[in-house]
Structures are given as C-alpha cells and as structure tokens.
Amino acid sequence: MIIISVVIFAVLSFIFYVYVHRPALSNTLTAITIIGLLTSIFFMIKNDHDHYGMHEVTKTTTQKIYSASPSKQLPMMLYQSIGTANKHQVYVYKTSANAKKTSHTRAKVTTKNVIKRTTGANRIVTKKTYWEYKSGSYKFWFGLSGNGHTYVKETNTIYINKNWTVLSATQAKKLQALAKSKSYQAKQKTAAVAYVKKAVMAAMTKNPSMTAAQQKQVTQQATAAYQAQAMKQLIAQVKK
C-alpha cells in the first residue's frame, strides 16, 4: 500500500499544481500532497533499510541424522570448508539409514554450525530467523515491498554420539587411501596377529582350562579391540 500511496500522492501533487487555477488552493493542496509523498517515501525507505514495522522471528526444526560414512563400524560426520579462511564449514550427513545421497547444511556465511556430543539421538536442531511483519496493519502498508518472511540467519546445533568421528572431506579421503594401501594392510596384519596371540596367551595363562569356544571368543574380542585401536591411531594421523 505504501507504494500505491507514493504513486497517488505524486499524481495528485501534479494535478493540484497544474490544473487547480486558484493559487492559494493549488499551493495548499500541492503542499499537502508533497508532504504525503515525502512521508510515504521516508517510511518506504525506512522499511527497506531498517525493517520498520518488522521484527525477527525464529523457527526451530529438528532433523534426525545418520552417518555419512558407508562403514557401520566407523560412523562419521564430514565437513567441507568454504573459502580459504576456514571460518565457515558445510557439514555432510544422511537423513535416513538407507539414504543413497547425502545432505548438507547451507553453504552461507549467515549459517552457523555448532557440534555437540550427546548420548541421545543424532540430530540437527536448526533455528532459522526471518524478518516478519509485527501486525496485519504493517503488512497492509508494506506487504507489496516483498520484505515479508525475509531470511536473516540460521544456527545448526549438530548433536552426535561420542563414537562419531568428525573429519574434513580431505581428511576422509586421506584416511580411505591410507587404510586401503597395501603397505599399511600388510603392517597391520602382522601387528594384529601378534596382538591377538598375546591376548589369547594372557587369557589362557589366567584360565588354562579354556575351551575352544572361549578361545575363539577371546580371539574375536582381541581382533575387534585391535582394529578399533588401529583406526583410532590412523584417524589421529590424518588429523595432524
């Protein structure tokens, strides 16, 4: 409506100045319409620049998330830095356990991402802030300007379990390359055999009458423990 009022006051001021032949009346009406025109322009600019008649409204949504890693044994949250200053990151995840494609947070400087560890569900709590009109009256006057529901910023609080690993996309590629290298696998195979053998011998020393099933269980547990330890060391290496 404010845009329409600008047009109306502009047209009226022209009409009153040109077509009203009584000078006193013409000057009075022209002055009134010019004041109305300037007032309308003032509030239109104030609405556009200072968001006059508006206030910030924050809407909160929660999205359950799943690991971006294909490995169930190594759940992972990946991120990609935006720009060269490394001040902003885009975090990558999946929205379902069976999702083929990954999702990510907004690649905007107005987006803030915060990682927090939790014992609950892995999730993203998103708080988006918009400029909204304070009332229907303000919307009536300024609605045509297109400022309603204008995006301002958002904050993503990403809650992930302690067993999740957070790596950059570059670090994840490096981790994958190192884990698949023949030299690393050969080294780990030798070390794993020695680790498991030592664990089984220690268990048999404590319990010389261990059955074959019990020895198998100790072997499986020692193998899993070694793999977890080796991966932890490898992750620490790529993070350096």
**Do 129 and 87 touch, CB atoms closer than 8 A?**
no
DSSP bridge partners of 82: 88
**10 and 67 together in one domain:** no
Task: Give the count of domains, the chain.
Answer: 3
pLDDT at 9: 93
Task: Please tell me the distance from the alpha carbon of residue 124 to that of residue 173, in angstroms, as a whole number.
Answer: 24
pLDDT at 179: 85
pLDDT at 74: 85
Domain extent at residue 11:
2-50
Of 34, 50, 66, the position where a domain reaches its end is 50
Of 167, 196, 225, the position where a domain reaches its end is 167
Successive 10-residue mean pLDDT values, the chain, 240 residues: 91 92 92 95 91 94 91 86 78 91 90 93 96 91 82 95 90 87 88 91 89 90 88 86
**6 and 83 together in one domain:** no
**46 and 109 together in one domain:** no
pLDDT at 121: 93
**196 and 113 together in one domain:** no
Encoded tokens for 195? 């680790």
Determine, yes or no, domain membership for 216: yes
Task: Please tell me the distance from the alpha carbon of residue 64 to that of residue 67, in angstroms, as a whole number.
Answer: 11
pLDDT at 228: 83
**155 and 211 together in one domain:** no
Determine, yes or no, domain membership for 99: yes
Determine, yes or no, domain membership for 224: yes
Determine, yes or no, domain membership for 228: yes
pLDDT at 84: 66
* Composition of the chain by helix, strand, coil, percent to 5: 50, 25, 25
**42 and 110 together in one domain:** no
pLDDT at 145: 72
**126 and 67 together in one domain:** yes
**123 and 76 together in one domain:** yes
**6 and 77 together in one domain:** no
**191 and 157 together in one domain:** no
Determine, yes or no, domain membership for 175: no
pLDDT at 105: 93
